[in-house]
Amino acid sequence: MTGDPLRRALDDVWYCVGESRRFRPGRLAAVRLGEEAIVVGREASGALFALRDRCPHRGMALSAGRLQDGNLVCPFHGWQFRPDGQCAAIPALARRDDASFATVRLPRFAVAERSGLVWIAAGPEPAAAPPIPEVDFAYCGMLVEILEVEASFDLVALSFVDPAHVAYVHDSWWWRPSKTLKEKVKHFAPSPFGFTMTSHTAKSASFAYRLLGAVPEVEIEFRLPGVRLERITAGAKRIANSTFATPLEGGRTALINAMYWNIPALNALKPLARPFMRQFLGQDRAVLETAQKGLDRKPAMVLIGESDVQSQWYFALKREFLRAREAGAAFVNPLEPRELRWRS
Ligand code: FES
Ligand SMILES: [Fe+2]
């Protein structure tokens, strides 16, 4: 780990921590966000809360406790905390004991739910953070796969904007039947906190796309901190394929893929689709983990040519985000519309 903030995952922005259904009413779950351990609870009302997963008394993991009458109960000595983090009771205090726990409180994290996923901000007040992605159509199915990768947040996020790896890493027959590299021309425009490869017709549509039964329009947006949103439209049929990176402890990163569709016929394919998604993400994990070892020995990258321009943009966006936050100023997207050519 380096001290350079440009090399660390951004603080005080939203990160996906899993599927909504993992967080059941009246239950607690442990979540990691960078080096922070967080307990997430869902109240009977359905509302979520997120607090530091560390009892101030003796450091116990509160996620090992339980929810009782709306309060979080520590399993070690039963201290109780309200969902806002305020200590509400210390059962061991005798009646005559006037010790005050008014100032005992757990740090709280912002938590939100969008399109079947839970998001937590690595900080108290994600005011100027990039917006949480949301699916913009009525989906009838979703499929989520989460992999932990022994690689830095940057390395994982860069794989979202790296067209040149596809031919070498994702060369499965069902995704990329052709082995030859073709020259691609793509148009990019700045979008909030990122850039978008503007909608085009996927002429040499892969087998996976051809399942749609029509030539699809594809638009791919990248947004800080590590969000890739692929929107596929074929007539009224819609598929959203969203990929997120979330920093974990020890320099590891969660690679999250959430796919949504509004095509009822695809619901039956869901059990078949999962192994494909897992294989696809596993291909990324394998190269990312090996590349990370190389970067650990020498943390430098050589970014060359138009196939690496999006990688340069990633760092430019991150640099501007850090500058704006440091200056207390608004984020100003440093990118210009541009056509990029590469072979993939
Ligand atoms: S450690 Fe939590 S109540 Fe003692
Ligand atoms: Fe990939």
Identify the residues whose C-beta falls under 6 Å from ligand 1: 55, 57-58, 60, 74, 76-79
Closest-CA residue to 321 (of 246, 226, 244, 229)? 226
Alpha-carbon separation of residue 326 from 7, 12, 109, 226 (angstroms): 16, 12, 21, 20
Q: Which domains does the chain have, with CATH numbers?
A: 5-121 (2.102.10.10), 141-343 (3.90.380.10)
Mutate to test the pocket of ligand 1, among 28, 52, 58 (most ligand atoms within 8 A of CB): 58
Kindly give the distance from the C-alpha atom of residue 162 to the centroid of ligand 2, in angstroms, as a whole number. 8
- pLDDT for 276-325, tens place per residue? 999 999 999 999 999 999 999 999 999 999 999 999 999 999 999 999 99
Residue 1's pLDDT is 41
HEC string of 48-77?
A: EEEEECCCCCCCCCHHHCEEECCEEECCCC
Closest residue by Cα to atom 4, ligand 1, is 77
Span 237-253, average pLDDT: 96
| H or E segment and range at residue 317 | helix 309-327
Side-by-side strand order, sheet with 183-191: 141-149, 253-261, 237-247, 227-234, 217-223, 194-201, 183-191, 338-343
Q: Which amino acid is at 215?
A: V
Mean pLDDT of the chain: 92
Q: 49 is written with which tokens?
A: 């809360």
The distance from CA 5 to its chain's CA centroid, rounded to whole angstroms, is: 19
Phi, psi for 20 (deg, rounded to 5) = -55, -40
What is the percent of the chain where pLDDT is above 70?
93
Residue nearest to atom 3 of ligand 1 (CA): 77
Which pLDDT score, from 0 to 100, does residue 127 have? Answer: 80
